[in-house]
Amino acid sequence: MSPVPAGTRRPLAAAGPIVLVLAILPWVVEPYETVLLSYGLVFAIAALGFNLLLGYTGLLSFGHSAYFGVGAYAVAFTVKYLKVSSMELLLLAGILASALVAALFGLVCVRYTRIFFGILTLALSQVLWSLAFKFFWVTGGTDGLRVPTPTLLGVSIGAGQDKMDFLAHKYYYYVLVVFVAATAVMWVIVHSPFGKALQAIRDNETRAEFVGVQVWRYRWVAFLISGVFTGLAGALWVPLNGLTTPDILVWNFSGEIVFFTVLGGFKTFAGPIVGAVVFNYLKTFAVGYTVYWQMFLGVVLVTLVLALPTGIMGMVARLAQKSRRAPAP
Amino acid sequence: MSLLKTTQLTKYFGETHAVDHVDFTVTEGEVLALIGSNGAGKTTLINLISGLIPVDSGAIVFQGADTTRDSIHEKIARGIARSFQLVNLFDQLSTLDNLALAIFSRDGKTRKLFRLSDADGAVREEAVAVLQQFGLAGKAGMLAGGLSQGERKLLDVAVAYALKPKLLFLDEPTSGVSTREKAPIMDIITQVVRAGGITAVIVEHDMDVVFKYCPRIVAMHQGTILADGTPDEIRNNEQVTANLLGTQRHA
């Protein structure tokens, strides 16, 4: 077995304490806070998937609500029509459905770049939204589909156990494990030869072709992986939310995924994770604080783009670099 | 032995005859220069042979196989690589990663998703060795976007070289660099290319560079081949003197 490369040791060392803090959190904070964090971690998985396209391949998708929604609806359909309650099988359904849709949509989209790519992804996501909206006898229309609490590794919610308690403990840990696994897998992907090829395509498509990288094929695989990650997030989100509606397929949610990533910093691996968690808190705070919450978030976004173009993690990286350069007193 | 042969190769851009029924042959192992004034068709000829733009008519035969309609990917697999007039690098990747990517691609390893690229010691070692050959070993960790123009030119050629091509096109490898840097750059390039047994076609405007480093010179003018010979033959060719060398003296 090859030893862990030097470049991987530091992130691993940094991730350990963070995961430890996340693991003990449900025992020190209110259940509501833990559930809120679960949402943040779920969105972080979606943002990681999204950023494989934006940060690593140079493609800005405005249609990632499609894969999140497909993951969510796949779970809801599997529960409703196949009477499945195992979360593992539901996740599998979400992954397979989002992979299928991403594979098809990717074939159409990856031959284009820039605004054409963005508009195509947006248009395709809106097709799915209209299907979910109009085929109400299948999808429940605007009422959506309810999803009861699933079994986790064969263990169901205890008799008389409070749902909030279940979500804040058992389900939180389930989400945390999937999040850690998804993050590790994405870390390996972006640091693999395949990940380097994606970054090469992002930097210089023509040259990438001239070192033998078949650009559209790599873009398609990246699109597929990105869609699967986002679909996995959608599948994890439904039991938390208890319900899925067409709202999750609307372009506004695609915009929120872009927001997570820009807020955290799309040029860093951890940026989308931080952005998703922070955005989730920001939005929850804003919604509870003012009816003008959209305006509040808009102001945050504008400020962010103007003042912190590299996002939160970009700024952190810059400050860390400065402090390393500063001479000791 | 002929490595590459084009027959009546033609490319028109509207009314412009960029490459006009060109018969061009490259012999295995040679380092030849392709010269001509701006718009003569040198870069278009390279673009056609390397697959960047489609051929209007004519044929390209490489190692006995018809490659006229091959994709860029297929041409690279056959052993045709190139560098660019305007440096084309992966600016946000390190110098080492620029080379490592070319090596991964050459070895069919870019399809590997679940293996860390840094864990492939053989590729790293080869990339470092190529950097050393090109005098860039000290810049391995730097982003390619942060290199000087001369270093970028060298890296551009090194990336193409790392593909281990049989035929390497170098499109103006010393353009945009200072006069002082030209000779060292060409020394490194020709030394590496010859040591690797690679056939090279160098597009170049600087006639001092051409005469010094290339035993065979092909002169193009208005999409056609004007002359083909040794440096002395080219120097003494009246048509070349009138159309190219004379033009350059005036410029």
Q: Between residues B65 and A160, which one has the greater pLDDT?
A: B65
Distance CA A316, CA B190 (A): 45
With contact defined as beta carbons under 8 Å apart, do B53 and B44 qualify? yes
Q: In this predicted structure, what is the pLDDT of residue A327?
A: 61
A269 domain residue, yes or no: no
Confidence band for B210, pLDDT divided at 50, 70 and 90: confident
Q: In this predicted structure, what is the pLDDT of residue A291?
A: 86
Q: In this predicted structure, what is the pLDDT of residue B249?
A: 45
Q: In this predicted model, what pLDDT tens digit does every residue of B92-105 receive, in sequence order?
A: 999 999 999 999 99
Contacts 24+ apart (CB under 8 A), A84-91: A85/A148, A85/A150, A85/A151, A85/A156, A86/A150, A86/A151, A86/A154, A87/A150, A87/A151, A87/A152, A87/A153, A87/A174, A87/A239, A88/A153, A90/A150, A90/A235, A90/A238, A90/A239, A91/A178, A91/A232, A91/A235, A91/A236
With contact defined as beta carbons under 8 Å apart, do B159 and B87 qualify? no
pTM of the model: 0.88
A256 domain residue, yes or no: no
* CB of A10 less than 8 A from some CB of B: no
Return the ∠ at Cα A288 (arms to A285 and A294), rounded to 5°. 75
Taking the CA of residue B6 and the nearest CA in chain A, the distance in Å comes to 21
Q: In this predicted structure, what is the pLDDT of residue B251?
A: 36
- Sort out which chain B residues have CB atoms less than 8 A from A189's CB and list them: 113-114
Of A135-139, B49-53, B151-155, least confident by mean pLDDT is: A135-139
DSSP count for chain A of H helices, then E strands: 15, 2
Confidence band for A103, pLDDT divided at 50, 70 and 90: very high
A118 domain residue, yes or no: yes
Q: Under DSSP, is residue B85 helix (H, G, I), strand (E, B) or coil? A: coil
Q: In sequence order, which ranges of chain B are alpha helices (DSSP H)?
A: 42-50, 72-78, 95-106, 121-133, 149-161, 179-195, 207-213, 231-235, 238-240, 246-250
* CB of A75 less than 8 A from some CB of B: no
Nearest by CB to residue A197, choosing from B50, B76, B101, is B101
Q: In this predicted model, what pLDDT tens digit does every residue of B136-195 receive, in sequence order?
A: 888 888 898 988 888 898 899 899 999 999 999 998 888 877 888 888 888 888 888 888
The answer to whether the Cβ–Cβ distance between A213 and B105 falls below 8 Å is yes
Q: In this predicted model, what pLDDT tens digit does every residue of A191-205 receive, in sequence order?
A: 999 999 999 999 999
* Number of domains, chain A: 1
Q: In this predicted structure, what is the pLDDT of residue B250?
A: 41
**Domain range annotation of chain B:** 2-250
CATH architecture for segment(s) B2-250:
3-Layer(aba) Sandwich (3.40)
Distance CA A200, CA B9 (A): 32
Q: In this predicted model, what pLDDT tens digit does every residue of A77-89 receive, in sequence order?
A: 999 989 888 999 9
Output the CA–CA distances (angstroms, integers) from residue B19 to B56, B58, B85, B210, B248, in the order listed: 10, 11, 18, 22, 21
A290 domain residue, yes or no: no
Q: In this predicted structure, what is the pLDDT of residue A5?
A: 58
Share of chain B above pLDDT 70, in %: 97
| Mean pLDDT on B199-223 | 87
Residue of B nearest to A225 (CA): B113
Could you tell me how many residues make up chain A?
329
The answer to whether the Cβ–Cβ distance between A211 and B105 falls below 8 Å is yes
* Tokens, residue A158: 């205890």
Taking the CA of residue A107 and the nearest CA in chain B, the distance in Å comes to 18
Instruction: Name residue B200's beta-bridge partners.
Output: B31, B168
Share of chain A above pLDDT 70, in %: 96
| Mean pLDDT on B207-233 | 86
Q: Between residues B209 and A20, which one has the greater pLDDT?
A: A20
Q: Average per-residue pLDDT in chain A?
A: 88
A124 domain residue, yes or no: yes
DSSP string, B164-202: --SEEEEE-TTTTS-HHHHHHHHHHHHHHHHHTT-EEEE
* CB of A1 less than 8 A from some CB of B: no
Q: In this predicted structure, what is the pLDDT of residue A39?
A: 94
Which residues have C-beta within 8 Å of that of residue B23, sequence separation ≥ 6?
B5, B6, B7, B8, B9, B225
Share of chain A above pLDDT 90, in %: 45
A312 domain residue, yes or no: no
Nearest by CB to residue A207, choosing from B89, B92, B119, is B89
Nearest by CB to residue A210, choosing from B82, B93, B117, is B82
* Tokens, residue B123: 């590729």
Residue A152: which domain range? 30-248
With contact defined as beta carbons under 8 Å apart, do A204 and A58 qualify? no
Q: Under DSSP, is residue B211 helix (H, G, I), strand (E, B) or coil? A: helix
- Sort out which chain A residues have CB atoms less than 8 A from B105's CB and list them: 197, 211-213
Question: 3-state SS string over A120-176?
Answer: HHHHHHHHHHHHHHHCHHHHCHHHCEECCCCEECCECCCCCCCHHHHHHHHHHHHHH
Distance CA A241, CA A141 (A): 17
Q: In this predicted model, what pLDDT tens digit does every residue of A171-187 receive, in sequence order?
A: 999 999 999 999 999 99
Each residue of A48-57: b (16+ CB within 10 Å) or e? Answer: bbbbbbbbbb
Residue of B nearest to A217 (CA): B111
Q: In this predicted structure, what is the pLDDT of residue A326?
A: 67
Nearest by CB to residue A193, choosing from B77, B117, B121, is B117
The answer to whether the Cβ–Cβ distance between B115 and A208 falls below 8 Å is no
With contact defined as beta carbons under 8 Å apart, do A86 and A144 qualify? no
Each residue of A74-108: b (16+ CB within 10 Å) or e? Answer: bbbbbbbeeebbebebbbbbbbbbbbbbbeebbee
Distance CA A271, CA A284 (A): 20
Residues from B contacting A (CB-CB < 8 Å) are 50, 52, 72-73, 76-77, 81-82, 84, 88-93, 97, 100-102, 104-106, 109-121, 159-160, 163
Taking the CA of residue B154 and the nearest CA in chain A, the distance in Å comes to 15
A271 domain residue, yes or no: no
Task: Please name which of A106, A93, A39 lies closest in space to residue A66, comparing C-alpha atoms.
Answer: A106
Nearest by CB to residue A204, choosing from B50, B73, B88, is B88
A284 domain residue, yes or no: no
* CB of A212 less than 8 A from some CB of B: yes
Q: In this predicted structure, what is the pLDDT of residue B246?
A: 58
